[in-house]
Chain A
Amino acid sequence: MKYIDEYRKKDLILAVSEELKRVSKKKITLMEVCGGHTMAIHRFGLHTLLPPSIRLLSGPGCPVCVSSQHFLDTAIAYSKVPGAIITTYGDLIRVPGSVSSLEKEKANGKDIRIVYSVLDSLEIARNNPGRPLFFLGIGFETTAPATAAAIVQAKTDNISNFFVLSAHKVMPPVMKALVDEGVKIDGFIAPGHVTAITGTAIYNDLATVYGLGVVVAGFEPVDMMQAILMLTRQLEAGEPKVEIQYKRIVHHAGNTIAAGFLNRVFEPRDDRWRGLGTIPASGLKIRDEFSAFDAEKTFPLTVPVPTDPKGCICGSILRGLKTPNDCGLFATRCTPSDPVGACMVSGEGTCATYYKYRS
Chain B
Amino acid sequence: MCLAIPAKVISIEGSNALVTIEDVEYQASLLLIDDVHPGDFVMIHAGFAIEKVDAEEAAETLRLLNEIAANSPQ
A: which residues have CB within 8 A of B? 1-4, 6-7, 11-12, 14-16, 18-19, 34-36, 61-64, 89, 91, 116-120, 138-140, 142-143, 145-146, 149, 153, 191-194, 196-197, 219, 222-223, 226, 229, 245, 247-250, 255, 257-258, 261, 346, 348
Known A-B contacts A15-B74, A119-B29, A149-B29; the reply to A3 vs B2 at CB < 8 A is no
Q: Is the CB of B50 within 8 A of A193?
A: yes
Chain B residues with CB under 8 Å of A191's CB are 2
Q: Which residue of A lies closest to B58 (CB)?
A: A248
Q: Which residue of B lies closest to A153 (CB)?
A: B31
Chain A residues with CB under 8 Å of B8's CB are 2
Q: Is the CB of A1 within 8 A of B6?
A: yes
> CA A356 – CA B70 in complex, angstroms?
34
Cross-interface CB contact of B46 among A61, A89, A247, cutoff 8 Å: A89
Known A-B contacts A15-B65, A248-B58, A255-B32; the reply to A140 vs B6 at CB < 8 A is no
Known A-B contacts A62-B1, A255-B33; the reply to A248 vs B45 at CB < 8 A is no
Interface residue? B66 (CB, 8 A): yes
Q: Is the CB of A196 within 8 A of B41?
A: no
Q: Is the CB of B50 within 8 A of A120?
A: no
**With A2-B8, A16-B65 already in contact, 20 other A-B pairs whose C-beta atoms are closer than 8 Å:** A1-B6, A3-B53, A4-B5, A6-B58, A91-B1, A117-B48, A118-B47, A138-B1, A140-B2, A142-B1, A145-B50, A146-B46, A191-B2, A197-B50, A247-B57, A248-B53, A248-B55, A248-B57, A249-B53, A257-B32
> CA A283 – CA B8 in complex, angstroms?
33
> CA A121 – CA B2 in complex, angstroms?
20
Q: Is the CB of A348 within 8 A of B57?
A: no
